[in-house]
Chain A
Amino acid sequence: MKYLNDVLVMKRMGSRLTFNKVWKAVFLLATSFALLSLIVLLFRIFSQGIGYLNIDFLTNFASRIPAKAGIKAALIGSLWLMAVVAPVSIILGVSTAIYLEEYAKKNKINDFIRMNIANLAGVPSIVFGLLGLTIFVRMMDLGKSILAAGFTMSLLILPVIIVAAQEAIRAVPNEQREASYGMGATKWQTIVRVVLPAAIPGILTGSILALSRAIGETAPLVVIGIPVILQFLPTGLLDSFTALPMQIFDWAKRPQEEFQYVAAAGIVVLMTVLVLMNSIAVIIRNKFQKRY
């Protein structure tokens, strides 16, 4: 007794195959939608900004005259900001991840902490801006300095780095730790010599992606109140500064039409920095990936 009727199976074959194709088209459409938006965005920005993109734009300070406006202060300011954010957030983030994954016992309190760090990654950036304003700018009296903004940005991306580093550390097979412990290595030696080298591609990739988020964040800087028109470069960590997204935000909200183009040129610079950082992340990931 056969349950599958050959004739019926053949009859249904056509509609099954059609259905298969329809779904493929739906998924392709969804992908194209995202790609298309990205292309339109890039095209618009480039066509607007290209006229203002030249060496002068990179070497001039901000100006009230669109043709003379430049991004030097903002670009250098953003680099200063990264010089604070990168070490602070990576050192704190990786240390926290090591503690949570390697040292902390698996109990309810620690599970609660782990869960809440993941939740922190979803807190809106403006909330971190308010926190930074309260603690760093006012309580610690750092003013609207690179240090205050850097600490705030570090807090903002810290949860992202912790989560990325935790995942990278967890991905190191337990057999590797056992091999090390089995030879009489201490926990510290095992972490430094076995766990971290294996986890570093994941940690760096996550960190660079988090840093590129920090370089594009505007809201916390607005809340802290960093200035936008600066005619000098910062010389120390306690100097005031401006940053790329702040500068772009300021240009974009000006009434003169020319400043829209200047803003577009600024966006091109910012995106170039982002693409560079993300490429580094990809290169690191591909180059150092370990196999087991």
Chain B
Amino acid sequence: MIQVAEKKTPKIVVSNTKQAPVSRQQKEFVFQTKNFDLWYSEHHALKNLTIDIAENEVTAVIGPSGCGKSTYVKALNRMVELVPGVRTTGEINYRGRNIFSADYEVEELRTKVGMVFQKPNPFPKSIYDNIAYGPRIHGIKNKKILDEIVEKSLRGAAIWDDVKDRLHQNAYSLSGGQQQRICIARCLAIEPDVILMDEPTSALDPISTLKVEELVQELKEQYSIIIVTHNMQQAARISDKTAFFLNGEIVEFDQTDKIFSNPTDRRTEDYISGRFG
């Protein structure tokens, strides 16, 4: 917790110098999506999306299975390109720069935009090596710096106390919920700006889910978080804004309170009240 607070301070200083006179309500956008379309071969998976995602907020993406919510989040770090036959049109701007432009290296983007996956996927290495993986691929070799990053990241993911005495044990010796927090710590180790989470609790038990949700609340102080979830209560509990996807389109995007108490669109209301999906 102390570590979290320490990291927070310089970050605020930076954003203050960048946008000093701006009031607290007007946050900067991390992702601005303009008329974005995506096809898997012939299947038109995302249709004309336009959505702006603000920094230091939790943005939840909800919708029934196959609505394109995972696809959209995977487009934000271009992970979707691993699927053969994907085509896109339109723009997704990350901090004002189109991530699909030819000179944007995907490795550079993913260093800024980290990702936590649906199923905990630690490497079959020690806990330490899992966390140090990111810094190492970016060229950090100094043992002392790595030690510090590992501790900071594990503290940041609220799992330091669970694992500090067994950093050199295999990450698979941990429970599923701990593994997922290791994956979150591993993501923090590359010091990202945005964290994408693709149904991070769907493979976890209720208590582990709760811990991850609490963690998300803490992390939004320093990171912008975009979380895909199947669970509407989860979206209501942890997010500031919610986007409701249906058949590859955004039906409604607004403050989470508004979406869940007073949705504008009839389909949103039907979905959140459990009439379909």
Contact = CB atoms under 8 A, between A and B. Distances in A.
B241 to A, nearest CB: 23
Contacts of A186: 107, 137
A183 B187 contact: yes
Chain A residues touching B, range: 20 to 34
A105 B124 CA distance: 27
B34 interface: no
B119 A183 contact: no
Interface in A195-241: 197-198
A193 B133 contact: yes
Contact of B124 (A181, A182, A189, A290): A290
B187 A175 contact: no
Contact of B111 (A175, A184, A198): A184
B124 A198 contact: yes
A180 B133 contact: yes
Contacts of B68: none
B138 A178 contact: no
Given A176-B121, A193-B133, A291-B124, A181 B110 contact: yes
A184 B123 CA distance: 15
Given A179-B183, A182-B79, A185-B137, A173 B107 contact: no
B197 to A, nearest CB: 11
Contact of A194 (B109, B123, B187): B123
Interface string A99-137: 000000110000000000000000000000000000000
B127 to A, nearest CB: 14
Contact of B117 (A175, A185, A198, A291): A175
B2 interface: no
Interface residues of B, dominant DSSP: helix
B84 interface: yes
A181 B133 CA distance: 11
A27 interface: no
Contacts of B117: 175, 178-179, 182
A189 B138 CA distance: 10
Contacts of A105: 84
A292 interface: yes
B172 interface: yes
B193 to A, nearest CB: 12
Interface of A: 105-106, 173, 175-186, 189, 193-194, 197-198, 290-292
15 contacts: A106-B84, A176-B121, A176-B123, A178-B82, A178-B115, A179-B123, A179-B186, A181-B79, A183-B111, A183-B137, A183-B190, A184-B137, A184-B190, A186-B107, A186-B137
Please give me the 8 A-B residue pairs with the lowest Cβ-Cβ distance, nearest first.
A184-B111, A175-B121, A184-B110, A182-B115, A290-B124, A183-B134, A185-B137, A184-B107
